[in-house]
Structures are given as C-alpha cells and as structure tokens.
Structure 1
Amino acid sequence: MSPTDSALLLVLYLACFAAVHSLMASLPFKRRAAKILGRRMDPWYPAIFSASALVMIAPLVYLVYLFPGKILYIVPSPWRWAMVAGQLLAGLLSVRAFVDAPHRFKVPLQLLGPGAAGGEGLEPRGVYRWIRDPFLLSGFLIIWLTPFMTTNILILYVAVTLYLYLGSLHWERRLLAQFGDEYRSYQRRVPRAVPWRGRLRPEG
C-alpha cells in the first residue's frame, strides 16, 4: 500500500469512528435508546459507550502499526522520558476528570433538561473548578507528547486534534441542554482547557 493510500485509509477510518462515536453521544440517540431499553440502560450506557470506543479504536491502532509511514523524529533521552511522564500525568488527569464529573455521564439527568423535576444542579468540583473540559486538555497532551513521530501518525494526530476539539463543542451543547443558564454562567467563569483564570470560586 502506498503512503498516500495508507494515510487516506487512516483518515477514513477515523472519520467513521468519529461519526459513530458522536452519534452514540448525542441526546437524540440516547432518547431513542432510553425509549427502547427503558431504565435498564441508565447505569450501563456510559460503560457501553466507553467500551465501544475502545473496540473501535483498536483497528485504528493496528492500522498505524501496519502503516506507520516515514519517521520524522525520535526524541532522545532524557527528554523522551519527560514527555512520557507528561502523558502519564495527562492520563491521571482523565481519571480524575471521570471521578469529578458525574454530571457529564448520568444519562437520565441529561434527558431531563434544565429546571426539570428530579434534576440536579451543576456544582463543579475538583478539576472542573479550574477548566471545563479536562478531557480535551489530557487528550492533547497524550497525543502530542508522544516522543516519536511518523508521517501517518502526524496525519492521524492532526485529525484527532480536530475531532477532540469538535467533540468538546458537542459536550458543551449537551451540557447547555442539561443545565441551561447555569452552565452559561459557568462558561463565563471557567476556561475550556487552559486554567489561566485561576480556580472557580462560588458566586456571591
């Protein structure tokens, strides 16, 4: 397979993954699933969503392994280990983001809408008092701190960067649908991914 064909294959597969992943994250899809499956889906949907993403990513990783492309650079020691350490810290940030953000993953609350009976307030905690989307930051750090680069990996990372950013916008729309004006106020007070404003403090 030529370098151009392998790069095109990677991009096409990532586009298919992005389409399926975004569909499963959308509120219309979740409403349809809730209508079909009922309350049985409530505790399982986030796990199924994450597991399906891992299953769909596996072939993409294998394609990169088969067709890495031309080597562009390899970072020497000790800098490569500093970059790997940064990736590990970014991974820990993702774990902390899951722990601190039940508001992002409770499907029944997402479907209620702002102000609905049985809903919950936003109440940002932990890392969400510094940034709105730690997954965006950790994703950028994990991919761009890779201590080596090839042509196909570079193409893939550029596409993933775009997808992560667009995915963050999608999450923001969903959270606006869930929390309404409360989330708009949060957006004004807390940056998306770079904590340049400092820690969120209670209003009033």
Structure 2
Amino acid sequence: MVSSTIILIISLVAFAVIHSFLASLFFKRLLIRAMGSRAEKLYMPAFSLIAVITILPLVYLLYKYPGPIIYIVPSPWRWLMVGGQIIAAVVAPRALLDAPHRFRIRSQLSAPNSPEAGHLDIRGIYRWVRDPFLLSGLVIIWLTPFMTVNLLIIFILTTIYLYLGSLHWESRLLAQFGDEYRSYQKKVHRIIPLPGRYRRRL
C-alpha cells in the first residue's frame, strides 16, 4: 500500500509541474499566438483559478492524511501567528498592484531594453523586498499554528519550490530589465524587508 506521504508528494509535484508550465514563457508564447491581445486580460484570472483548483486535491489529502502531530501552538500565540498569515495574504495582491508591468505577457516576451520591456519602476512594497510573493508564501506556511509530519514534509518541499521559482523569476527580470535590475538587487533584499535601510538608498 502506498503511504500517505508519497501520495502527498506526488500531488505536490503534479501541482508544481502544472503551475510551472502555465507560468513558462513557452506557454505564454503559445497563448499570444492563439489569442492575441485577449491573452493579456484573461491570463492572470485564468492562471489564478487553475492554481486554486489544482492545489485543492493536495489540501484535501493533507486534511485526510495529516500524519502524527508534532506540535499545536496554544493561545494567544496561535492568534498572533494567524494574524501574521492574514497580513501576508494581503501582500500578494498588493505586489500585483505595485508592479503590474512585470506581469504583462508581451513585456516578458520582449527583448531587453526595448520599448515593450519598459522600465523597472520600483514602487510600493518592492521598495522593501524584491520578491514579496516568496515572502508572503513562506510566512503563510511557516506561521501555521500546528504541525504534523506530513505537513512538515510538504512545507519543506514547498519552500524549496518557492525559492527555486523565485530564482527563475529573477532571471526573467534580469533578462527583461538588465543592469537596471542588477542595481536594484544590490539595494533590496530578496526576502527580508528592511525598510529603514533600503528606503533611503533607493
């Protein structure tokens, strides 16, 4: 009989493969060829919906096969952790609003330093942290106020996936913005927001 841990890992890998393919430049090129300008409007809502749908089986399996309990954080600390998760959940949509130009398909597919690629235009949350999606993801999973064996394994693998995804995303930004992004990397940390230090330098 296949263990619950292996089933969970397979489910996570399946989600990661689907998510990575849909986020790839290869898929976006196919989308632009097939749909033209409509792809820009439909891509993000469709991508988000598919991400939610494909993560639901993993959530269900974790609920059904949590594994032995490692710890449960008591009150009031658990509510502080949940509060941190709620704050982190606001970061992702805020990051989209602060840098919509980074997520336009045609800009991502354009040549570096071309008019279509645009400028980096640092503002909002990006003044404090380079990858707010990585930050919010790590905060949400690791501030979960309880931990089981299977949950820990999935969280560790998810952390690795998020970090590798962040490296890949930054390689795209370097290709799109070139030296402008390299200069930005020297001033702002990838994960740890340090507003007092970096706001003065930008």
Assess same fold via TM > 0.5.
Answer: yes
The separation in 1 between residues aligned to 2:150 and 2:126, in whole angstroms, is: 34
2:60 matched residue in structure 1: 62
SS of equivalent residue, structure 1 residue 73: strand
Say if 1:130 and 1:200, in contact at 8 Å, map to a contact too.
no
Aligned to 2:105: 107
How far residue 201 of structure 1 moved from its aligned partner, in angstroms, is: 4.0
What code does the residue aligned with 1:194 have? I
Distance verdict in 2 for CA 1:92–1:13, change over 3 Å: same
Deviation of the 1:36 alpha carbon: 2.0
Residue 128 of structure 1 aligns with an amino acid whose one-letter code is Y
The answer to whether the 8 Å contact 1:69/1:152 transfers is: yes
Q: How do 1:36-185 residues align onto structure 2 when only pairs under 5 Å count?
A: 36-185=34-183
Superposed CA RMSD: 1.5
Select between 30-39 and 9-18 the one with higher mean Cα deviation: 30-39
Confirm or deny: 8 A CA contact 2:173 2:181 kept in the other structure.
yes
Choose the corresponding residue for 1:24, options 19, 22, 25: 22
Q: Kindly indicate whether the alpha-carbon contact (under 8 Å) linking 2:106 and 2:116 is maintained by their aligned counterparts in 1.
A: no
Contact 2:141 2:155 survives alignment (8 Å): yes
List per-residue Cα deviations over 1:49-77 (Å, max 9, x = no partner).
Answer: 11110110011100101111111111111
Q: Using the alignment, how far apart are the partners of 2:139 and 2:117 within structure 1?
A: 34
User: In structure 2, what is the Cα distance between the partners aligned to 1:51 and 1:200?
Assistant: 38
Distance in 2 separating the partners of 1:79 and 1:118: 48
> 1:48: how far off?
1.1
Instruction: Check the 8 A contact 2:66/2:149 in 1, yes or no.
Output: yes
1:74, 1:180 → 2: CA distance? Answer: 46
Which of 187, 191, 194 is the matching residue for 1:193?
A: 191
Structure 1 residue 95, shift from structure 2 partner: 2.5
Q: Which runs of 5+ in 1 are unaligned?
A: none
TM-score (norm 2): 0.93
For 1:30 and 1:115, locate their aligned partners in 2 and report how far apart those are by CA, in whole Å.
20
Q: Please state how far the C-alpha of 1:93 moved relative to its aligned partner.
A: 1.8
- CA–CA distance in structure 2, aligned partners of residues 73 and 96 of structure 1: 32
> For residues 108 and 200 of structure 1, do their structure 2 counterparts lie closer, same or farther at Cα, with a shift above 3 Å needed?
farther
Map 1:5-16 onto structure 2 (within 5 A).
5-16=3-14
**Larger mean Cα displacement after TM superposition, 36-45 or 57-66:** 36-45
- Paired with 1:180 and 1:144, the residues of 2 have a C-alpha distance of 33
